[in-house]
Structure 1
Amino acid sequence: MNWTQAKTDFSTYLKIERGLSDNTINSYLLDVEKLIVFLKENNNTESPVHISKETIKEFVYQTAKQLNARSQSRLISGLKGFFNYLVFENYRDNNPIDHIEAPKIGRKIPDTLSLNDINKLIAAIDLSHPQGTRNKAILETLYGCGLRVSELINLKISDLFFNEGFIKVTGKGDKQRFVPIMEHTQKYIDIYKNEIRNHLNIDPEHSDILFLNRRGKQLTRAMIFTIIKNLAKTINLQKTISPHTFRHSFATHLLENGADLRAIQLMLGHESITTTEIYTHIDRSQLTEVINNFHPRK
């Protein structure tokens, strides 16, 4: 088995057997590609079946010099997944990276916005601009439903079940879930649909996609990032934010107001409750701030 075949088979396994998203699969393949480039640069002809622990160790050592701890950990994890696959398929009898430890990294607490900041960002949208009404509906949906940016741009009109109070969301690995949607958010989506979207010259291929650009085609992830970046600049927000910041804020604000962690997990589409538990760390940090500010013996 050569490296090209190994990458192709691994990609198929991740998509069919693991049900991972294209972005996640590409991340795994990029880790393998870095190893392949290293081998070529060093005139090493070892195959994925026969590559030694010593070669892997040298690769990790050389590559780690150029990466931070989190990226190193990501690389080692990706390669472990690749070689575990080869072991699983009986191409190898051991994983050459098993004894290489990833650097210890703390759990990164995501950035969030206050409700006041979110209101300022939405209020900064120029509704006189042709795309203003759409952008307001986008931000209301991002924050109101806690969506990933990929879930937002792929949201379909046929996914809207407003009478029942839900939208159907297709998340990572094409897994679907139903997320509650408030009447407040529904209102701005309806305004956009009726006053803006219905008057576009819509591309037939994107006829069911909810949020469209001015040419009637599906929006890109990059466009959502640009919209948010420009709004942050407009209100002089001293924080680097992205579409995911609205998702983090959605979960954090629900938790602060007493929502059940399991319910938040279901709405976010997290496979494991441990992923959702990151938001309890944010909540605890705010408790520390409260005691530091208000305890009588401070």
Structure 2
Amino acid sequence: MSFIWTLSWPKEIKNYAPETRIHERSNLRGFLRYLYQERAVIRQDLSALIQGPPVFAQSNPPRFLTLEQTRKLLESIDVNHPQGLRSYAMIHLMLSLGLRPGEVCKISLDDIGFQKKEICIPDRKNAIPARMPLPCDTLKALAGYIAWERPKDPGHRFVFCATRPPFKPITSMAISLDTSACFRKAGIKGSAYWLRHTYAQNLLQSGASIFEIKEMLGHDIIKTSNAT
């Protein structure tokens, strides 16, 4: 039996930044997939019904970091602090692979091939798993966090955890907030998606086609890559 499920968003939603709306919709989709796949509380996957407004051509181009800003951001992170080492690894993943916060939070220890220097991203927005090479700096950042700061037995295989007991897996919203805090500390006004845009810009400048960028970003339609 077919049906239409509608959600009534609070009127105050218009006061939230576009990035916040995107993250909230992503969290709701993940929760619905969890209810369907893990708990079998609902009989069908309703996550696809959570849709945002249509994305039209942007009047302002996506913002990305310059080489100097990238250096300043990474150097401002205190890697001697547990949360700093975690932030350093997460930002490297988003910056060097163009990952979304929602993809970073789902990475497990089993997805990382340290010997092959590659990582598997099983749950992408376009539903196509990706196996990507890990740059040396990103590999070192991940290894440093896992070896020195990740809890030895947090009770799960997710790479990134809370810094305090019970060491639950970090959420995409927490990654976004953590990244924004790193931007502020570096004196840069930006968000986690700036890192993704920077990755796309670097691909473009290196000569990659828009179709190659689409595949690397995990987009399902080419128009999204044009907007990014």
Structure 2-normalised TM-score? 0.72
Coordinate RMSD, CA, aligned: 3.0
Deviation at 1:134, TM superposition (A): 1.2
State the partner residue of 1:249: 198
CA displacement 1:182-232 (0-9 Å, x = unmatched)? 1221111011111111x4451x2xx21011111321111221122122222
Find out whether 1:275 has 2:224 as its counterpart. Answer: yes
State the partner residue of 1:25: 49
The one-letter amino acid of 1:189's match is L
Contact 2:180/2:192 (CA < 8 Å) preserved in 1? no
State the partner residue of 1:6: 4
Find out whether 1:172 has 2:112 as its counterpart. Answer: no
Find out whether 1:230 has 2:181 as its counterpart. Answer: yes
Structure 2 unaligned runs (5+)?
A: 7-32, 37-43
Q: Secondary structure at the match of 1:178?
A: strand
CA displacement 1:263-283 (0-9 Å, x = unmatched)? 32221111223332345xxxx
Deviation at 1:20, TM superposition (A): 8.7
Once the two structures are superposed, the pairs formed by residues 124-273 of structure 1 within 5 Å of their partners are: 124-169=76-121, 170-172=123-125, 174-197=127-150, 199-202=151-154, 204=155, 207-214=156-163, 215=165, 216-237=167-188, 239=189, 241-273=190-222
Q: Secondary structure at the match of 2:130?
A: strand
Q: Secondary structure at the match of 1:218?
A: coil
Separation of aligned partners in 2, 1:123 and 1:105: 36
State the partner residue of 2:24: none
Q: Secondary structure at the match of 1:224?
A: helix
Structure 1-normalised TM-score? 0.56
Structure 1 unaligned runs (5+)?
A: 9-14, 29-73, 78-103, 280-298
Separation of aligned partners in 2, 1:208 and 1:248: 29
Separation of aligned partners in 2, 1:248 and 1:7: 33
Deviation at 1:141, TM superposition (A): 0.9
CA displacement 1:54-98 (0-9 Å, x = unmatched)? xxxxxxxxxxxxxxxxxxxx2xx6xxxxxxxxxxxxxxxxxxxxx
Aligned residues: 190
Deviation at 1:145, TM superposition (A): 0.9
Return the index of the structure with the highest Cα Rg.
1
Deviation at 1:130, TM superposition (A): 2.1
Separation of aligned partners in 2, 1:161 and 1:263: 23
CA displacement 1:142-187 (0-9 Å, x = unmatched)? 1011101100001111111233332111212643112222122111
Cα distance change of structure 1 residues 164 and 264 upon mapping to structure 2, 3 Å threshold: farther
The one-letter amino acid of 1:107's match is Q
Separation of aligned partners in 2, 1:21 and 1:246: 30
Cα distance change of structure 1 residues 271 and 221 upon mapping to structure 2, 3 Å threshold: same
Deviation at 1:111, TM superposition (A): 1.4
Separation of aligned partners in 1, 2:128 and 2:115: 23
Q: Which has the higher contact order (CA 8 A, sep 6+)?
A: 2
Q: Secondary structure at the match of 1:188?
A: helix
Contact 1:137/1:192 (CA < 8 Å) preserved in 2? yes
